[in-house]
Structure 1
Amino acid sequence: MPIYQAMLMDWNTRMDLTSVRDGDMASRHFVDSLLPMKTEGLIPKTGRLIDVGTGAGFPGMPLAIANPELKVVLLDAQEKRCSFLRAVKEELHLDNVEILHGRAEDAGRDGKLREQFDRAVARAVAALNVLSEYLLPFVKVGGRMLCWKGPGAVEEVPAAKSAIAQLGGKNVCTLPMAYENEHHVLVCADKKEKTLPQFPRKNGIPSKRPLK
């Protein structure tokens, strides 16, 4: 983790990868990424996980480092972030990590990725009903989506349940996560049925016209 953090600080001065501006803030992101590992069954030790809209690699990269037998795909729409993540992968010799440049809407329709993952995760990249359309198409039946959200996410859940059900999800729950003065919520949903072929919709549509 120290090498990853040092690379993040260095690259960020040149490429503006993330809002993380100091070592303390980066450390909080690392801890926040790994907190779900304290709850048995949330993060598998093996299998496949995809981090959608990974940015500078949170939470997927720390999870990959901590679970070397877990195959982790890091997906992001910005090539500069993917370049950074490739450099981290090479420096740390992370054979269990794959970096993909692309949008969630396109990748979720790719037969090599669609419903191929035990977990699909994201960290505060959109409203929950939008996130669900990004994540659930990647999750195989029997898998689970995990969303790192702020404390206000509890209020998003009732409105998102219909969207989650339309995408094949069920059993939505929220788990509080706290680290020092940081308070977050992990929103989880199980994949119970295959996602209908019309989802995800075309680029930009999930955010412009969220499922209801």
Structure 2
Amino acid sequence: MDQIQRQFVERVKKLNIQLSERQLEQFETYYTLLVEWNEKMNLTGITEREAVYEKHFYDSLTLAGVVQFDQQSSLADIGSGAGFPSIPLAIIYPHLQVTIIDALAKRIRFLDEVTSQLEFTKVLCLHSRAEDAARLREHRDHYDVVTARAVARLAVLNEFCLPYVRPGGHFIAMKGTDLSNELDESRYSVIKLNGKIQDVVRLTLPSEGAERHLVICVKKGPTPSAYPRKSGIPLKTPLLKPISTTSNRIE
């Protein structure tokens, strides 16, 4: 174990995560594959090893600070990109049935290779638009926990992700710095999709103090049949509170 790994081990202990030698090997294999494939396709702008361990691996595992994953059985990661946070979570919690959904076939090929190399048996990598897969019975209103990391604004993410959450389950959006405007504009879509914002947790990364936020939404009931709308519409026309057209003219 080198210095970067020792530092990683100590940091995740604060998240109540104890890493085994096998898990450390899996993280290192993941890092190697990420760098190799990144030379052929754009997976991440962060490739320096210490930065990947902090800004991708550790950052993904901060979800363990707000979710008791040992009490969950299923996770969906929407727009996963290079596999964050789903792959780090699958390493730590091998009992989880994990579904990774991404619209880019090249990224899914990379993730298939990662799941093969890491010998995962409960991870499904699905090439699909989020809006399309959410209409399939096996995914709709199904998952205990749904995540999305830096995919889109919250008003859009709610329509992408809440349809996957089972009633009583949680959607957690992983966001960066100030998001007060996003939160305000997202409240309308949360209500429309039978969700409720339960909490917003502010975090900082250990080395440089970069700010992160976890927006935690609970699903109150099944997804209304009208949602999600057809592919492309949520991004182009987010669910926002209608502007009042009531006239102030005195008759």
Verify: 1:184 aligned to 2:212, yes or no.
yes
Q: Could you tell me which of 23, 38, 41 is aligned with 1:15?
A: 41
Q: Could you tell me which of 79, 96, 101 is aligned with 2:127?
A: 101
Residue of structure 2 in register with 1:34 after alignment: 61
Say if 1:16 and 1:164 are closer, same or farther in 2 by CA, change over 3 A.
same
State how far apart, in whole Å, the 1-side matches of 2:134 and 2:113 are: 25
Q: Which has the larger radius of gyration?
A: 2
Aligned-pair CA distance for 1:25: 2.9
Say if 1:173 and 1:39 are closer, same or farther in 2 by CA, change over 3 A.
closer
Aligned-pair CA distance for 1:112: 1.2
* Number of positions where the alignment pairs a residue of Structure 1 with one of Structure 2: 211
Aligned-pair CA distance for 1:133: 0.2
Residue of structure 1 in register with 2:221 after alignment: 193
For 1:182, give the aligned amino acid.
A
Q: Could you tell me which of 75, 95, 100 is aligned with 1:49?
A: 75
Residues 147, 187 of structure 1: 8 Å contact kept? yes
Verify: 1:127 aligned to 2:175, yes or no.
no
User: RMSD over aligned Cα, in angstroms?
Assistant: 1.3
For 2:62, give the aligned amino acid.
L
Structure 2 alignment gaps of length 5 or more:
1-26, 241-251
Q: Choose between structure 1 and 2: higher strand proportion.
A: 1
Render the CA deviation track for 1:131-171: whole Å, top value 9, x for unaligned: 00000000000100000001222331122111101001013
Verify: 1:203 aligned to 2:217, yes or no.
no
- Which TM-score applies when normalising by structure 1? 0.95
State how far apart, in whole Å, the 2-side matches of 1:72 and 1:45 are: 14
In percent, how many aligned pairs have the same letter?
Answer: 38
Q: Is the deviation greater in 21-30 or in 178-187?
A: 21-30
Residues 176, 186 of structure 1: 8 Å contact kept? yes
Residue of structure 1 in register with 2:3 after alignment: none
- Which TM-score applies when normalising by structure 2? 0.81
Residues 75, 102 of structure 1: 8 Å contact kept? yes
Residues 141, 166 of structure 2: 8 Å contact kept? yes
Aligned-pair CA distance for 1:46: 3.5
For 2:103, give the aligned amino acid.
A
Render the CA deviation track for 1:155-201: whole Å, top value 9, x for unaligned: 31122111101001013321012112221000010000111111000
